Chains A and B, each alone.
Chain A
């Protein structure tokens, strides 16, 4: 991790860092893009995105990480996203996170565009925000 940061500082390269560990993304990146089923679900500055996630998938993802805070209780059940990603989720005509979302209803059964959210450089693909 330190090596990657060093390389970035020294040679002035841009880095696309692909990971599924948000804690690593948080410590290394400036911008984070949350990807689901071939679509960008949320895009924004890492700090803002993790402190204030907007898309239901990002929220669920952050909640499933065992945290290290002082009042954290070990062995409690971790929150998960129900179900699996299936081939059906890649079809058009509905939100791709529709079947696993905790906010989804009939309004989500259409193609959802990636829209600009109020702050700078923040994009979200969800109509229920």
Chain B
């Protein structure tokens, strides 16, 4: 595996090329042949320096598998992950590199060890990576906790003594303790209530402004994506179906699945700017804003059937024609601006009313 040479040109911190992960399993106890689920298949994208890259998609489409592949928590089947231009290896060879990729998990309740005090949790990665000595770890943990807006006395608490928002802040402090350059956020706010999630998002954006690091933001909430992301990547069935700049995506999603996702998004539609005097919020709502569920016809993700050819989305798609069944649409630039790539033969088609 050679280094990528045109890194300066691309300005990319993370390059994923042709990454695949196939899970094998036996359908019954006495099966001779193993079945294969292609959780992630042939995924290629870049995350640029100082960019917030959002990955959206339905449950089970491979978003979290992708994040685990990048951090090296599971081994890949094929493909390469380049970080800062160097191929990311598992084992001791890639350890120095992998220090700069940190991951923040969805559930702040189960991702912290309940038997350890907060200062141990926060300082452990730094001690392990040789950034600080073990005897300095309390002071180090306190300074890290202050960075994320927590009190000094939280350092001596156990995780169960903290609220959900505080725990997620502890998770952020743990990630930041080794000064990473890429932070993978796996649904960081979906377990938190609205005002706490707003606090966490503000904190994450402040940190990004200060440290100029890159975020890979995995979520299924398009409201958050629009709020936070620079580029959006839509996944379906283990494949990327659209990558676009945030502004382009939200003005006009190109892939039919993106369209359906966009239409099923729930929100208040504030026609006028929210009244900042905090007195009243008036709201008008269009008829078409009502929820449209994604039509669930045909197969589910991870079903037993082998789909080797054709588009992953063809049997749920409103725009599918015969060609979609036979040929797999390549990722192509279908926009004049060049800030969008779509895997579809019929992009920009709207669903029939």
- A interface residues, Cβ below 8 angstroms from B: 1-2, 20-24, 26-27, 50-53, 56, 59-72, 74-75, 77-81, 84-85, 102
Contact = CB atoms under 8 A, between A and B. Distances in A.
B281 A51 contact: yes
Contacts of B195: 60-61, 64, 80-81
Contact of B163 (A67, A70, A74, A84): A84
B226 A66 contact: yes
B271 interface: yes
B277 to A, nearest CB: 10
A28 B290 CA distance: 10
Interface in B233-276: 246, 265-271, 273-274
B31 interface: no
Given A1-B293, A50-B283, A84 B269 contact: no
A84 B165 contact: yes
B269 A68 contact: yes
B281 A62 contact: yes
Contacts of B283: 50-51
A65 B268 contact: yes
A63 B199 contact: no
A67 B194 contact: no
Interface residues of B, number: 37
A69 B291 contact: no
Interface string B161-183: 00101100000000000000000
Q: Can you list the 9 inter-chain pairs with the closest CB atoms, starting with the nearest? A: A20-B193, A78-B198, A64-B198, A66-B227, A68-B267, A69-B270, A81-B195, A23-B266, A2-B293
Interface of B: 163, 165-166, 192-195, 197-199, 201-202, 205, 223-224, 226-228, 246, 265-271, 273-274, 278-283, 290-291, 293
24 contacts: A2-B291, A20-B192, A20-B194, A26-B266, A27-B290, A53-B280, A59-B279, A59-B281, A62-B268, A63-B274, A63-B278, A64-B195, A66-B201, A66-B223, A67-B267, A67-B268, A67-B270, A68-B226, A69-B268, A74-B227, A74-B228, A75-B228, A80-B198, A85-B163
Nearest to B209: A75
A22 B291 contact: no
A69 B269 contact: yes
Contacts of B291: 1-2, 27
B228 A50 contact: no
Contacts of A60: 195, 278
B280 A61 contact: no
Given A22-B194, A52-B280, A63-B274, 11 more contacts: A20-B192, A21-B194, A23-B267, A26-B266, A26-B268, A51-B281, A59-B281, A60-B195, A61-B195, A65-B198, A85-B163
Contacts of B227: 66, 74-75, 78
B268 A23 contact: yes
A72 B224 CA distance: 13
Contacts of A81: 195
B89 to A, nearest CB: 35
